[in-house]
Structure 1
Amino acid sequence: MTSEPHRRAIGSLRAVALDAPDIDLLATFYEQLAGWRRAYGDDEWITLVSDDGWRIGLQRATNHVPPRWPGQDHPQQAHLDFRVPDIDAAAERAQQLGASLLRRNERWHTLADLAGHPFDLSANPDDPRTTLMGVMLDCPDAKALSHFYAALLGKPLTYEADGMAMLGEDGAQPVLFQQVEQYTAPRWPDPAYPQQIHLDVTVQDVDAAERAALDIGATRLDGAGSNWRVYADPAGKPFCLVWD
């Protein structure tokens, strides 16, 4: 266990974005499972929001190749961790909504959503709500990648152990990291090596933020729009710097 003081951030976490071939179908699934609400939507992107401040983006990927958890031939790249009052009841409800059960044990259940993205359900019997505890990124080196995102997002390193790390306090949209063997990095935008999930990071001055991100180990990728640019972190995972 460790705790570091907050440092000056390059940007702030805006959204966790999931790729899917049918974003309306996936949005309906998470609305019914987690009680999220639609804040924006068009044919290419839907933004869902939670009562505790999470923003989840759903991005249409017409050539989406779903993960095949737990192997690295078609890796998940990242997953969402939910807390629920009863994991058995929540898993049954998720399956009724179209999810697939991947693994069950006493502490948590792992399922795949309608786009194939794995997610975990863990028990929190003192809270009747379904809440998003955090987003977990797979990586070859949890220590190295957590330190990169600590500098990018300005979140404190609150937990570090062998092959695991966590940024941010519980309840404050933490980002977690788990080290996996034979890690296979995305090769965005190659659909054969999909990103599956990416983070959007809000910045004020994109040119200054880009210089700072490159200085800590990011790589500029060939993707940009009117208010976003695409980069890869040191593990090859794409992320976007976005601005208003």
Structure 2
Amino acid sequence: MKHAVVHRRLLAAASLVLASSAVSAQGNSATDAIAKYREMLQDGNPAELFEMKGEELWKQKRGPKNVTLEQCDLGKGPGVLAGAFTELPRFFKDTGKVMDLETRLIHCMVTQQGFNEADLYKAAPTIGKGEGANLVAITTYVATQSKGMRFNLSQAHEKEKTMYEVGKRLFFQRGGPHDFACTTCHGTDGGRIRLQDLPNLTKNPGDGIGFAAWPAYRVSNSQMWTMQKRLNDCYRQQRFPEPQFGSDATIALGVYMGVNAKGAESIVPAIKR
């Protein structure tokens, strides 16, 4: 029943955005129409289904050890979720590494629930089935617990500072058959591709934009995308080889964008075209 309601709302919203476009000559721009479209979809956002599944998985006894994830430490203490997402990626003393939300969740699934790490990393890119889909749901649930909070990534540890600088270099690095970089799309103000606004992510883009909007539900393919998936697809669009899931490159880019988003409000889970 829930899926049927969501489907009806998506159809209704699609009809309304077409109507909005039809009256653009009367003063409504395409950007305004897209904004209205997203606002309407937000009521009954399909991401709620992923959030619900993630909460169930967070509290469910799973894995060889048959325990829950409720004691997972995401940086603010065992089981503390509020505000954790808006401080990630960060350095974790127990691993000696800077980790984002997804790699930290895998760490907890391995150390607390007994899952095989190699198996989880292999499954993670397959976001629509198995443990890959489970990771997307758990990530969505955890991230949503910080909705409305403001990003404040730490730069206190030397490894956090290094990751920021590496992420910055990667963001500006040009290459591939089209000589693209992240800045090709996200390095100037007022950019757009077709009807999609492209925020400038070399500085703070504002509340709920860029890093502060993922995980998000993609209406165009009916999928929930996390930041790892978003970054990998950016590399694909640049015609670069896609990084491995949880690579230092994607985490470094997350640090760079997260630090730049300091003070921005998280609207996760967002909705995208």
- TM-score bucket (shorter structure): under 0.3
TM-score (norm 1): 0.27
Structure with max Cα Rg:
2
TM-score (norm 2): 0.25
More strand by share: 1
